[in-house]
């Protein structure tokens, strides 16, 4: 997904990039591989992620710093491109983060971001889970990412970038197949305890967990080989700082 996003940006070679909420460095790695940058600086508020990225991306053009998306440690108009992958819906003040990304790029510079499509059901694996959970427990609806992350849609993402002062804003869909080898391959990640859906599963008594599991087992589509063919979609937006 990160590589498709970087290609979609179609940024000119060279220049200085900023990766906001870099996490493990997936977007930074894609920029290094595909965009021919002079430099990339990734920021993240998690010391663990920053340490991981430093260990695993040793390209001399890249560096990683501990910082927050709403208070970027960059001077005004010093970057060519600022990007953020699968992060802005987790930032408490997304408009401020978008404004900070815009501030950091030069006039005419590019700002881009992508988020999973929770609004229109583009995350089929998650949509199936919450549909099943809500049918058994109406209170589960409040935990659904479609409710918790209203930014994750085509129109809200576009409005965010326009509101940050960007022009020529475009939003496109990026889709990838997410085929699971079988039901266990689909279900086991929900047992990890981290994230809204796994945390919900962990909160259930054993009988309710079994009931949810079996409801999902019967609801998910199956291919002839027993695999579960699903699809994931993200919205990718880009715009330019007013020259």
- The per-residue pLDDT for range 2-17, each reduced to its tens digit, is 999 999 999 999 999 9
CA dihedral (7, 11, 12, 17) positive or negative? negative
Give the per-residue SS3 of 10-33. Answer: CCCCCCEEEEECCCCCHHHHHHHH
Dist. CA 6–CA 35, nearest whole Å? 7
For residue 229, give the H/E element and its range: strand 228-241
Q: Whole-prediction pTM value?
A: 0.92
pLDDT at 193 over 80: no
CA angle 154, 194, 112 (to 5 degrees): 30
pLDDT band at 38 (very low <50, low <70, confident <90, very high): very high
Dist. CA 9–CA 121, nearest whole Å? 24
Instruction: For residue 46, give the nearest of 70, 32, 65, 19 by alpha carbon.
Output: 65
**Which domains, from first to last, does the chain contain?**
1-117+152-175+234-243 (3.40.50.150), 118-148+182-226 (no CATH)
The tens digit of pLDDT for each residue in 113-145 reads 999 999 998 999 999 999 999 999 999 999 999
Instruction: For residue 125, give the nearest of 222, 217, 220 by alpha carbon.
Output: 220
Dist. CA 54–CA 117, nearest whole Å? 29
Dist. CA 139–CA 207, nearest whole Å? 17
Dist. CA 187–CA 191, nearest whole Å? 7
């Amino acid at each position: 997904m990160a590589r498709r996003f970087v290609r979609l940006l179609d940024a000119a070679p060279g220049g200085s990039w900023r990766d906001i909420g870099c996490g493990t460095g997936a977007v930074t790695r894609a920029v290094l591989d595909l965009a021919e940058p002079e430099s990339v600086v990734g920021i993240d508020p998690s010391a663990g992620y920053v340490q991981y990225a430093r260990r695993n991306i040793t390209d001399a053009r890249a560096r990683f710093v501990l910082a927050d998306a709403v208070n970027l440690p960059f001077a005004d108009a010093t970057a060519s491109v600022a990007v953020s992958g699968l992060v802005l819906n987790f930032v408490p003040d997304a408009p401020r983060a978008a404004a900070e990304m815009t501030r950091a790029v030069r006039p005419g510079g590019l700002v881009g971001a992508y988020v999973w499509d929770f609004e229109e059901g583009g995350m089929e694996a998650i949509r199936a889970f919450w549909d099943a959970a809500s049918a058994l427990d109406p209170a589960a609806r409040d935990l659904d990412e479609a409710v918790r992350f209203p930014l994750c849609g085509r129109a809200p993402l576009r409005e965010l970038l326009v509101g940050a002062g960007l022009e020529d804003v475009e939003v496109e869909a990026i889709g990838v197949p997410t085929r699971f080898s079988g039901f266990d391959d689909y279900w086991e990640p929900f047992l990890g305890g981290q994230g809204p859906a796994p945390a919900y599963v962990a909160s259930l008594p054993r009988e309710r967990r079994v009931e949810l599991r079996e409801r999902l087992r019967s609801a998910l589509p199956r291919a002839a080989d027993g695999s579960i063919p699903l699809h994931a979609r993200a919205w990718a937006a880009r715009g330019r700082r007013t020259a």
